[in-house]
Structure 1
């Protein structure tokens, strides 16, 4: 008995000593790690990394930027089955433990003692939150001890729901998906409420090995993990036996879903990205900003289609340049090698797919398209493919398929018209751009900076400085009107010889047709783009006054020559600058500045920035003007519309007399009615105006045009300034693209004709002399003038009624 009491005393003493040592060890460990532990309160204000998203003004997604895909959700938005699945897979005692699960830690300790390896961590969800937000992921004893104490502190400071919400939004789930919201979209393309039980279990099984065991990279391992989660849910009574069995038998339905970009506008999105980085630095990619642009979805889609079709039509007119690459089929005998080859030739804009020609006969070619699929191309699918010789010449039409392609060719194919069979194609070598603005305030409604942003992100709308050619003439003519001339003023379309010391010899400009037409009214000269009349008009007005005048339209005079070649558009402009200039005509004489960023919203939908543009505001205008008249960027939530005095726009400055703008619109309407822009008559509208432009050696083709609702410019050319080839002018190349775009953009909109300013009169004039005539003259036309421009009576009319007896006819 005595021995028993002694033994018991020893055991109790040892236990007390062990307990004391344990307490001392725990206290010592806490005192050691406590200074390094972060404040738990910071979790309440934690900012999860949420990508930058860019939208059209309609709210359609244009782009997403950021390394982490995350869509934060509240715990209330998480389906109950998902909550239970994560508890079953990661922490079944989450609702009751104080942040540390002693059973789990004991199991991990036993595993360490028996195996000598740290393969089980025993981490609770709270401990994972501590690690994910505050600690490194290395497996050290110090980190584990810190994690335990921090988890217990988190449990004291936060509720279970708060902890679970942090966990479900922070956890990495593979394929750049962080949080369950992103995972649902990445793997299944749906929101949390659209997930099935097997899909929920699949996502809940990912935290253990998110990269190696996800259903995309390793379906077999992912299914095993999913079924383990389903089994745990069944054991814990979270799901019925029937649901468990049905879910276990369900196939894997996961597919990789990229960000659901709904509108292709790569160049606009890049403009936004650069602006956001300039404003917010690298945090622009992680703070969850949502940027709404001024781009209209329907117009942007039509701009993409019109430009691509126009460039492809030009490209095919000039022949087939041959395969994109040529390989030895012996080196690509199996499908895997062919798939790797085609992966290096990703799909190009306009639906151009790469394929490998494997067999060729006179009648057909077999083309391998990847993933075990092949198609057949017959001669009809490549009848356009005459051999390219140079920009102005092509070879003979192909007679056999073997005339065009050979085994080992890497080619491009696309679907035929209206989704028909496959046809031979090629990525256009020529480039182009299109931009459309609202003339009332300069808002960018559509912008395409090139054929395919992912092949060339160079934004030609913003950065390509090209000669505008005859598309610049309207600004010369507007200067002429401002200096006393009228649409009826007569200039002689005859040879001009200009002494130019910068050239070898004299400059002898000529019209595109090579002909001379004699005395010509300015209206007629602009309509038919008569170069010699434009030069004589500039000479009369003066180069320096004209250079000063074009600054009214926003042009930089330093990029335009101080000589008579200015009349032919020999300076340089970007497509955006030219479009801004035409907007002054379209809106009745006001200068507006192009803008594309409407507002920036923070992660909670609060407006943190809004652009306040210049807008045409006819008197009386009640909007308070900004002191300096510039575009203003107003910060803060006052711009959400709740503040009645928050300025929504700044009144635009009139830069051109209304009478000048009206006459220029009328003359530019004549370009479409009877001049170089006649193709636009196909739209059947009377409110369209515009001007073609073609530069020397046919290097640039332009068309800029408008009505009261929209102003748009199309440019086509080669980046290396090569010639476009014979007969490729603004009217034949750029104008059809403009017509295709404007036809859809204005579809359903009523015509919007300009209102005639006060004080203008319409009279009958002689078409040959520009002189005013009376009703006695049979061959006469009508022209509209200001009172200062009103012409005298012609010589044959002076014996008739005096000038004071003639009452001018009003247009409206």
Structure 2
């Protein structure tokens, strides 16, 4: 028993000994891990601190100016070199100091340079939303960051920033640090420091005269100086000012009553009105700023002393700005300013324009025309900031590009322009109006794009499929409202875009299908560190080379034969597409576009009014801007033509064949067209439409003395549906058509005694007039008559009038025929159009054909004139017939505009766009 008890005790002790080491191990491991992490973090932070830059007093008060270089590495702008006025701390009024501290750093006078409470809140936000989502920088830290450090959001930079902030507070007073901050910060519109900002925005050089609303505006501006620009966005600035006032109340700087009174102010009433002068290249610099801010976290081109290498061609930029100016030498005839219907008592508004010029090979932006007369006050950049419906410039992107890419359609592919295209679920339709209200029926894809026909474009979109069209367009940088593509996008009537994005998309067609986002900055160099960030976007294939080339080839037709003829540059291989939009409630077009390219440059242009309720009276201005710009940039520069890739083949096909067929040996040259096909998708079948018919057989001709006629007869054994064209020549003269008949015999009257006749018969298809047989001929001699008999038969005054005179019209052809039963005679035919004689001729046949007759009312008068004996020259009575050729203009419309006129920007009814 004792042994059992001892054994039980031992087992209990053993069990207890097993549990105790497990907990100890967990605690020990945790402790070691925490200690290791602490040591590691401490060592890492120690390294960050040890490698932090020294505090350099010379860099504390003056912001670094950023230097901007052109495509050749030449300096063309030094941002931040001017617009500074230094202010001392004792010049800073309490209202300004209170507003800045309440907004930026409410515990500025309590913390030692870093704010532990703000850091704690920022850590939680960064853990929840990702590093960099919320900052905790005090005013002191902002001074350090702007003076010594890179703007990148990195842990190492943040540690160095906090360390240097603690050091800065040991060397300088709070007042000195606040003074540094207010002299260093950027306030927009080129103004550095609060003193210059007060002068720029409020016309006040004495800061003590700033009132509460003005101080609140200045305190709120540095967060987003461009967005909060009170000249450009007074409403947005008003919201920011109200936020500053609320913070001032919260931190006890002002009372609620003071805040409420300040909120009543009208922002524009505070402004000085002396806006900064427009500087050259401002539209381009705006794009540079946006690009750097977007791609380099926290970078500020106005204060960070960056070296920014750009793509600008200053010669191109100056010429674009010249074309958008009001210079008397400007070749562009802009319309006079018009009244805004939304504000009839306000100032008249002028037509605006935006233009982007890209290097076709790289996608680099060479020039940006941001607005007529240049940008003012960082204003709306019509080349980069707008979102306007592009009209028919979308057709290569949404319709025909995807069709070639995914279905391998040829440029000949047949599309039916047969009437309005219904928009499912609505009462609206897409129409084609370029043919005076008539539709073209079957046309090639080339012709549909050349003439900008809306119905074929919509049908192509539906056949391609919305998802496919959307993915193709997105690969070219085109975005859609709410990420949804609409049927009306097929004619550019729903989603919006701007010239820079559209130029980027068109450049891919010019560049063998390779796309990259248009860019203005190639690289950015940071001060002191020597670090360089490459900002050039990566190119990527957006389509096959066959798609790019075939679209380009069709767009070349647009500028030579179609809606873009006014943009053509003689002697230069260019391609392009027009686009206009229409709305039922707007006279004229709200938008007019042209986007085109050569192998060197791609240019996209928009014109319109900022208020799109105003229509454009002249939609051809983009054509002129393109032509002038492309001509100027291409001077003294070789511009090679586009190179056809091996994936594309040229094939001659018979026009009108559906599907495409090769021409036969008998297809007339006028019915053969050469089109482009994706290799391996060429037609192989030969058309039989113009195959030669079997000729007539057994043709005989004899003279019947009793009836004084020639009798001709023949046989035809084929089952083809044919008629027979009968012609004759007299004494070796020219063969003249006599008649068309479905019979196999004919009687030829009014023959001339003593003459030899050659009778010709050709079989002609009743289905296709151009399909005929080889001619067969037979000859017959008409004997001479005795003179007494001749005089008896042909006594003077024995010339009757013609019988059964008729005139039938087919299109622009008038077919005139008559009968005659009398002595030998010729026939004088007089044709008058709308009362004026247009033709007079004498013929021996009993019929004439008037081809290509212009529209009008015609009168055809036929008079027989005797030929022989006593009847020589004797005129019979005249007979007349009338015919009318309907008028039909062949001038194409501007750009394929159609629809029901129910368009509105951004809506689903924009179906008239061109």
TM-score by length of 2: 0.43
TM-score by length of 1: 0.48
The structure in which a higher percent of residues are strand is 2
